[in-house]
Amino acid sequence: MSLNSAIYTGVVRHRRYQPRKHAFSYGLYMLALDLDELPELAAASRWFALERFAPLSFRRRDYLGDPGRPLKQAVLQEVARLGGEADGLERIVMLGQVRCFGIYFSPVNLFFCYRNGEARYLLAEVHNTPWNERHCYLVDLEQPQATEKAFHVSPFMGMAMDYHWRIIAPAKRALVHIENRNPELLFDATLTLRRRPFEASALTTALRQWPVMTLTVVRGIYWQALKLFLKRIPYHSHP
């Protein structure tokens, strides 16, 4: 069975340049799920399930929009609301996290929207911690433009900045690089991933290496927040 969906493994790196330098990186995996293939994926491996408990499980209510509507429809609606041309977008691949042994957390879910086989838009659904809010940014992959920051994410970073994007849509590799500028470089985050087929052996390997990926992400966020606090990085209250 040939699938557009896959599992991606790699590294995420954060680098802060001002007011004090701070950097870290860690390994991770993310699932790239073609939203039209979800029933096939549940049949492909006992490690993955839809709307029920499994080592890895997709629950519609964890993501964008009305849980009563298909996620693909919600993504297309959000693309149109943000000014994109949703007509003719025939395929959507979500690069992000699902529930791991029932626990869900994902700082960002990346919805790649395809037209005529080419990635046309990236819809980035961002979550903040600990407020558990979400916000979407739309990136035109044909002509990426700087995006004004409109959503409070980290209490150790203010709002007066723009995001600059460099993106390679999922293929053999995937890359998402974001720079925060004002206008000087304040911070950057880089996600570099390599594709593996969506099959039991790849899922087993990922689960052995990162048994509870979602908890690993949460633990990393708070551990780095503690380090920033000890470095006396200025604190920015939720606006």
Environment class of 79 (CB within 10 Å of its CB; exposed 0-12, middle 13-18, buried 19+)? buried
Residue 44, pLDDT > 90, answer no
Average pLDDT over residues 54-68: 96
Average pLDDT over residues 37-58: 93
% of the chain residues with pLDDT over 70: 100
Residue 90, pLDDT > 60, answer yes
Q: What confidence score (pLDDT) does residue 1 get? A: 54
Q: Kindly report, residue by residue over 177-223, the tens digit of the pLDDT.
A: 999 999 999 999 999 999 999 998 999 999 999 999 999 998 999 99
Q: What confidence score (pLDDT) does residue 131 get? A: 86
CA 234/CA 160 separation, integer angstroms: 14
Q: What is the DSSP string of 79-147?
A: HHHTT---TT--EEEEEE--EETTB---SEEEEEEEETTEEEEEEEEEE-TTT--EEEEEEESSS---E
Higher pLDDT, 43 or 130: 43
What pTM was computed for the model? Answer: 0.96
